[in-house]
Amino acid sequence: MLRRICKLVNQPAFREAPLTVIGRGVAWSFAVLTGRSPVFELVKGGAKLRVPPDLRYTSVSTFLLRDTSEPELRYVQKFVGPGDVFVDVGANIGLFTLKVAPAAARVVAVEPGKEAGEQLDANVALNGFTHVSVVRKALSDQPGRAALFHNPLGHDPQAFSLLNDGHDAESETVELTTLDTLVEQLGLPRLDCVKIDVEGGEGAVIAGGLSALGRFHPTVIFEMNCPTLFRAGGDPAAAWNLLAGLGYRFFQLGKDGQLAPLAARPLEFCNVVARHEASPALRAA
């Protein structure tokens, strides 16, 4: 418990407005006690979100910290603007999807998990977003069917992975497709940003989207060095190497929203922003 409190007080949202976050904590306690799912905005005037009144990390952190739970969510608007197409791979209950949807021309939210997918559907419907497509499949390097393992990562069984690291609580069978197939089937005319958070399966997602990535050169926000990947014996360099082969350069997004170039592949668990060398933002740099 002490570790969780220390993590909370070190978050930007708490340091910026501690009384606000404490007030939300009181409201959250009331929601848990009464069993009422709260509805709130990720950012003022933005999309609404409903989360179940439980003690899962996703539910609690989102209610308390809103969009400041990680820099990539807080500053995702730097990479997605009006008229853009955004694909949210591993959308979970819809944090990135809901943050981006008010501005983007089209959003594709990919979430194979049954429980998370149902919450995602409900949150999209809550906002009446007709330009958001929810795809209840998992992205990988080839189509088919596979087990989706529920890993109790961060005390949150909503951390889903196609990799079995031996720590899963349960699993469900899901349909697989590829990013290239998705782009073709949905007739996406462009691809401006892709966020990938699939608990170690990022390399397989990229391998299944080489054609679309090579054609559209979207910004790619992806997770690296997930503990699940290491425990399952996967290749932590796969996503980085595939994108580098397509001409991407790599950055980390700071808490201030600034991109810092990465000269070498990080070895720690982190998020990485990849931008193609031909992108207007890099050409202007």
Q: 243 and 272 in contact (C-beta within 8 Å)?
A: no
If you count them, how many residues does the chain have? 285
Strand, helix or coil for residue 259? strand
End-to-end CA distance of the chain: 44
Give the pLDDT score at 169: 67
In this structure, of 10-19, 206-215, 230-239, the range with the lowest mean pLDDT score is 10-19
In this structure, of 20-24, 53-57, 179-183, 242-246, the range with the lowest mean pLDDT score is 53-57
Across the range 152-167, mean pLDDT stands at 71
From the list 171, 173, 187, 172, the residue with the least C-alpha distance to 144 is 173
Give the pLDDT score at 283: 44
pLDDT in tens, 60-84: 889 999 998 889 999 999 999 999 9
From the list 67, 68, 57, the residue with the least C-alpha distance to 11 is 68
Q: What is the residue-averaged pLDDT of the chain?
A: 91
Across the range 258-284, mean pLDDT stands at 88
13's torsion region: left (phi>0), alpha (psi -120 to 50) or beta?
alpha
Where, residue-wise, is CATH 3.40.50.150 in the chain? Answer: 70-283
Look at residue 158 and tell me whether its pLDDT is greater than 70: no
Percent share of the chain, pLDDT over 70: 92
Across the range 197-215, mean pLDDT stands at 97
Look at residue 285 and tell me whether its pLDDT is greater than 50: no
Look at residue 282 and tell me whether its pLDDT is greater than 80: no
Across the range 142-152, mean pLDDT stands at 91
Across the range 210-223, mean pLDDT stands at 98
pTM score, two decimals? 0.93
**Beta-sheet pairing, 48-50 with 138-139:** unpaired
Domain at 70-283, CATH homologous superfamily:
Vaccinia Virus protein VP39 (3.40.50.150)
Across the range 259-266, mean pLDDT stands at 96
Distance CA 230, CA 280 (A): 35
Q: How confident is the model at residue 11 (pLDDT cuts 50, 70, 90)?
A: confident
Helical H runs in 66-166?
71-74, 95-100, 114-127
Across the range 9-18, mean pLDDT stands at 79
Look at residue 224 and tell me whether its pLDDT is greater than 70: yes
Phi then psi for residue 144, to 5 deg, are: 150, -150
Q: 220 and 247 in contact (C-beta within 8 Å)?
A: no
Look at residue 276 and tell me whether its pLDDT is greater than 60: yes
Give the pLDDT score at 2: 55
Give the pLDDT score at 284: 45
In this structure, of 3-12, 39-48, 176-185, 268-277, the range with the lowest mean pLDDT score is 3-12
Distance CA 142, CA 235 (A): 17
The one-letter amino acid code at 69 reads S
